[in-house]
């Protein structure tokens, strides 16, 4: 008795007969199954029959793919692949043009199946198609079916493209070059030439000799979008297959043709992106049921739904608001308000919905991963998606009219029908990765988005030709690589500065470093709230630490959560600065060594300690953010007479140096600079001039 999992319940159809409902035993040979089906319909010769799917792609069922059959599948009893191949082989040689046309049309349809293709090629049927093309005596419709069938057969990789004759290649190229030709023939001919070019360098050289660049460009100027796309695909294939010298010859065979080609590629890209403009400039309509369904679909796809039917309206609204907040919407009670900004408008909703439906696992992982983080460290999916969609619109220049002289196009655009959506799916995952690399908090949102924009623009500037290539390059360009590139470019800029400017920069550094030191000490004097790590599952205790105004004593002590900045008198414990011996960070901290193996990387990166009294005692800190960590470690270094070394200090120094140099280089001759600040004007009688950004523009 076969196990239940080996039994599949299916229906089998045959024209002129009632369907059979059978239980297919997957362990029984397929020939035995077909024989049983034929016996029920009293059909002789079961070897002449086969099963294939009745719906969708009508693939033949074989021993190798039969396990893909699902419960409820509908199959059809049809001619065996060998018998079908034999009949079509004879049909395309018929003296009756109608029979030849019908046979070639059917051949073009069934050749998509690899099982049939193998049978037809075994009879040397592909050579028969080649001969029809070489003779070129058939009517346009028959020739279209012939070329389509040939392309489908060759796509399986059973026969090498290298076996094609020069006569055949010249005929196909002739169809493309002809000024008066059936567009269907030209479309499939362009596709055949593209496959030739991509298959081998020798075939590329032959095609290059037959197809002129001017003719390909002429196909870009027609109104038939399919013909444009096929011509573009061949053009990109030739550029990919060409070596550096050949590529230059193709593009710059004459400067005017090269410029014209780039311009047409640019214009075609801009025109084909125009259909996104309407969605980009349309805000979400809260009364539109379809849009509301899309919005709630995001929520439902991210979280397991508890039954809402038995919930009160208030409870249902509360649940929805909670889940929309986890999704990263700013207005969780009315998330549609987040999509009122135009651009990106409804386009942001489209990209989010595409990501959720196209890559559900990645979508769920993004949302649930960030839902489990602390509130300040979570990367808000909705807010990030809206901003990312806007960035992509700006990079791809969606909504801008084509420039008369523009030529900056993206080759990747012509390899993907839904480029914006697919780019979004790659980049939203990149954003989450970059967020983690930067250890970002909600306050760092704009900074992260700037880095992501830079990652995308730098990668696109390298002209990737496929989404896979773009994905690999953009993920390799991580945050540390961006910092290295920025540093390299900054050094290069410094090298190009005139010697007096470099000298000025060196003279300004001590003054600005002293300014940063004072800021750090002032920050320590103001004090900071820290948390203690507790091994128990309860809220961590809080304590406060601050430096005395004379910078000689550190005061600290436990505080309540709601306590504002405590006075120095309220902090009972103190450590003289003179007793501090050293400052250690990360895994070298005593409290990290004690809990070795229990602390995650995030906590390690925020931990620091000061040792005092001959290093026998220590005061242990865990900063609430990377900013606080940098401020305190820098400030403590200043107190100990050491150099500041944090990345925050280096960034601030560069900003101050840049600003100060620009100010010093301004032409301020005859411009009076007051010694005192001008008086602050009186407050206005009312503040009605302020604009409420929470309300959508009407």
pLDDT digit string (tens) for 510-547? 999 999 999 999 999 999 988 876 655 445 678 999 99
Find the mean pLDDT for residues 398-403. Answer: 80
Is residue 250 scored above 70 in pLDDT? no
| In a shared domain, residues 399 and 526 | no
pTM, whole model, 2 decimals? 0.47
Find the mean pLDDT for residues 79-93. Answer: 92
Of the candidates 458, 491, 524, which is a domain's last residue? 491
Find the mean pLDDT for residues 151-163. Answer: 90
Amino acid 697: pLDDT: 42
- Who contacts 30 (Cβ-Cβ below 8 Å, separation ≥6)? 51, 61, 62, 63, 66
Q: What is the DSSP letter of 337?
A: G
Percent of the chain having pLDDT more than 70?
A: 88
Residue 32 within any structural domain of the chain = yes
| In a shared domain, residues 471 and 611 | no
pLDDT digit string (tens) for 401-426? 877 777 777 777 766 668 889 999 99
Is residue 633 scored above 90 in pLDDT? yes
DSSP 360-429: HHHHHHHHHHHHTS-GGG---HHHHHHHHHHHHHHHHTTTPPPPSS-----GGGGG-TTHHHHHHHHHHH
| In a shared domain, residues 446 and 584 | no
Rounded distance between C-alpha atoms, residue 231 and residue 223, angstroms: 13
Residue 414 within any structural domain of the chain = yes
Residue 227 within any structural domain of the chain = yes
Amino acid 537: pLDDT: 45
| In a shared domain, residues 60 and 104 | no
pLDDT digit string (tens) for 426-474? 999 999 999 988 888 888 899 999 999 999 999 998 888 778 888 999 9
Lateral strand order in the sheet of 20-25: 20-25, 7-13, 74-79, 49-53
Residue 698 within any structural domain of the chain = no
Token code pair at residue 672: 């009076």
Give SS3 for 635. Answer: helix
> Residue 48 is part of a domain; what is its CATH number?
3.10.20.90
> Residue 180 is part of a domain; what is its CATH number?
1.25.10.10
- Who contacts 545 (Cβ-Cβ below 8 Å, separation ≥6)? 527, 528, 530, 554, 555, 556, 571, 619, 621
| In a shared domain, residues 471 and 595 | no
Rounded distance between C-alpha atoms, residue 621 and residue 398, angstroms: 49
Overall domain count for the chain = 4
Rounded distance between C-alpha atoms, residue 338 and residue 110, angstroms: 50
Question: What are φ and ψ of residue 161, in 5° steps?
Answer: -65, -20
> Residue 592 is part of a domain; what is its CATH number?
2.30.29.30
Q: 3-state SS of 127-154?
A: HHHHHHHHHCCCCHHHHHHHHHHHHHHH
Is residue 256 scored above 50 in pLDDT? no
Q: How many residues does the chain have?
A: 698
Rounded distance between C-alpha atoms, residue 490 and residue 550, angstroms: 39
Lateral strand order in the sheet of 542-547: 528-531, 542-547, 553-559, 573-576
| In a shared domain, residues 290 and 431 | yes
Is residue 301 scored above 70 in pLDDT? yes
Q: What is the mean pLDDT of the chain?
A: 84
pLDDT-derived band at 690 (thresholds 50, 70, 90) equals low
Residue 251 within any structural domain of the chain = no
Question: What are φ and ψ of residue 491, in 5° steps?
Answer: -65, -40
| In a shared domain, residues 548 and 461 | no
- Out of 252-266, 530-544, 551-565, 610-624, pick the least confident: 252-266
Amino acid 597: pLDDT: 57
pLDDT-derived band at 259 (thresholds 50, 70, 90) equals low
- Out of 196-210, 359-373, 399-413, 562-576, pick the least confident: 399-413
Is residue 479 scored above 70 in pLDDT? yes
Range of 313-322, 428-437, 588-597 with top mean pLDDT: 428-437
Residue 691 within any structural domain of the chain = no
Of the candidates 60, 79, 98, which is a domain's last residue? 79
| In a shared domain, residues 56 and 131 | no
Higher pLDDT, 595 or 432: 432
| In a shared domain, residues 478 and 543 | no
- Who contacts 83 (Cβ-Cβ below 8 Å, separation ≥6)? 48
Of the candidates 79, 99, 123, which is a domain's last residue? 79
Residue 504 within any structural domain of the chain = no
Is residue 494 scored above 70 in pLDDT? no
Amino acid 560: pLDDT: 79
pLDDT-derived band at 683 (thresholds 50, 70, 90) equals confident
Domain hosting residue 333, numbered range: 281-304+314-491
| In a shared domain, residues 323 and 467 | yes
| In a shared domain, residues 96 and 67 | no
| In a shared domain, residues 33 and 168 | no
Other CB atoms within a 10 A radius of the CB of residue 391 amount to 20
Residue 676 within any structural domain of the chain = no
pLDDT digit string (tens) for 43-75? 998 999 999 888 877 889 998 888 888 888 899
Give SS3 for 550. Answer: coil
Amino acid 426: pLDDT: 94
């Amino acid at each position: 008795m076969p196990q239940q999992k080996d039994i599949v319940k299916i229906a089998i159809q045959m024209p002129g007969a009632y369907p059979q409902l059978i239980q297919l035993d997957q362990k029984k040979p397929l020939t035995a199954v077909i024989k049983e089906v034929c016996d029920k319909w009293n059909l002789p010769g079961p070897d002449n029959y086969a099963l294939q799917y009745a719906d969708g792609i009508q693939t033949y069922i074989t021993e190798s793919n039969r396990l893909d059959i699902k419960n409820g599948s509908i199959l059809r009893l049809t001619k065996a692949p060998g018998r079908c191949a034999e009949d079509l082989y004879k049909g395309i040689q018929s003296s009756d043009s109608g029979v030849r046309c019908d046979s070639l049309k059917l051949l073009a349809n069934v050749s998509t199946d690899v099982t049939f293709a193998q049978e037809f090629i075994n009879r040397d049927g592909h050579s028969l198609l080649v001969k029809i093309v070489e003779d070129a005596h058939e009517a346009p419709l028959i020739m279209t079916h012939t070329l389509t069938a040939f392309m489908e057969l060759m796509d399986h990789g059973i026969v090498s493209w290298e076996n094609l004759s020069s006569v055949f290649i010249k005929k196909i190229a002739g169809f493309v070059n002809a000024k008066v030709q059936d567009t269907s023939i030209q479309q499939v001919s362009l596709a055949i030439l593209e496959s030739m070019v991509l298959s081998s360098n020798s075939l590329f050289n032959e095609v290059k000799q037959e197809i002129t660049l001017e003719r390909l460009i002429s196909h870009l100027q027609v109104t038939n979008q399919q013909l444009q796309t096929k011509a573009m695909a061949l053009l990109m294939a030739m550029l990919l297959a060409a070596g550096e010298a050949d590529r230059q010859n193709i593009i710059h065979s004459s400067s005017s043709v090269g410029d014209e080609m780039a311009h047409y590629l640019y214009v075609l890209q801009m025109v084909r992106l125009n259909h996104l403009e309407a969605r980009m400039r349309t805000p979400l309509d809260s009364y539109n049921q379809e849009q509301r369904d899309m919005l709630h679909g995001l929520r439902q796809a991210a979280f397991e739904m508890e039954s809402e039917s038995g919930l009160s309206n208030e409870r249902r609204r509360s649940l929805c608001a909670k889940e929309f907040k986890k999704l990263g919407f700013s207005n969780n009670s009315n998330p549609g308000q987040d999509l009122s900004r135009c651009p990106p408008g409804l386009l942001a909703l489209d990209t989010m919905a595409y990501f959720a439906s196209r890559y559900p696992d990645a979508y769920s992982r993004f949302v649930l991963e960030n839902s489990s983080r602390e509130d300040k460290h979570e990367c808000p999916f909705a807010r990030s998606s809206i901003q990312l969609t806007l960035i992509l619109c700006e990079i791809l220049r969606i909504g801008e009219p084509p420039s008369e002289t523009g030529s900056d196009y993206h080759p990747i655009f012509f390899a993907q029908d839904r480029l914006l959506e697919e780019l979004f799916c790659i980049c939203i995952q990149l954003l989450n990765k970059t967020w983690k690399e930067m250890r970002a908090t909600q306050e760092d949102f704009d900074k992260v988005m700037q880095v992501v924009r830079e990652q995308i623009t730098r990668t696109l500037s390298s002209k990737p030709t496929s989404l896979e290539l773009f994905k690999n390059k953009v993920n390799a360009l991580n945050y540390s690589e961006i910092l290295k590139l920025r540093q390299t470019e900054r050094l290069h800029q410094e090298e190009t500065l005139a010697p007096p400017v470099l000298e000025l920069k060196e003279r300004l550094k001590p003054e600005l470093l002293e300014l940063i030191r004072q800021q750090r000490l002032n920050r320590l004097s103001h004090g900071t709230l820290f948390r203690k790590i507790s091994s128990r599952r309860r809220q961590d205790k809080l304590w406060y630490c601050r430096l005395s105004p004379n910078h000689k004593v550190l005061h600290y002590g436990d505080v309540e959560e709601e306590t504002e900045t405590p006075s120095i008198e309220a902090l009972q414990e103190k450590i003289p600065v003179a007793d501090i011996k050293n400052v250690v960070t990360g895994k070298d901290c005593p409290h990290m060594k004690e809990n070795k193996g229990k602390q995650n990387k995030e906590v390690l990166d925020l931990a620091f300690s000061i040792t005092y009294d001959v290093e026998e005692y220590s005061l242990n800190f865990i900063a609430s953010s990377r900013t606080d960590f940098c401020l305190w470690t820098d400030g403590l270094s200043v107190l100990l007479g050491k150099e500041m070394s944090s990345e925050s200090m280096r960034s601030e120094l560069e900003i101050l140096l840049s600003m100060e140099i620009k100010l010093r280089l301004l032409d301020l001759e005859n411009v009076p600079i007051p010694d005192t600040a001008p008086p602050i004007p009186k407050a206005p009688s009312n503040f009605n001039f302020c604009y409420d950004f929470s309300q959508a523009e009407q």
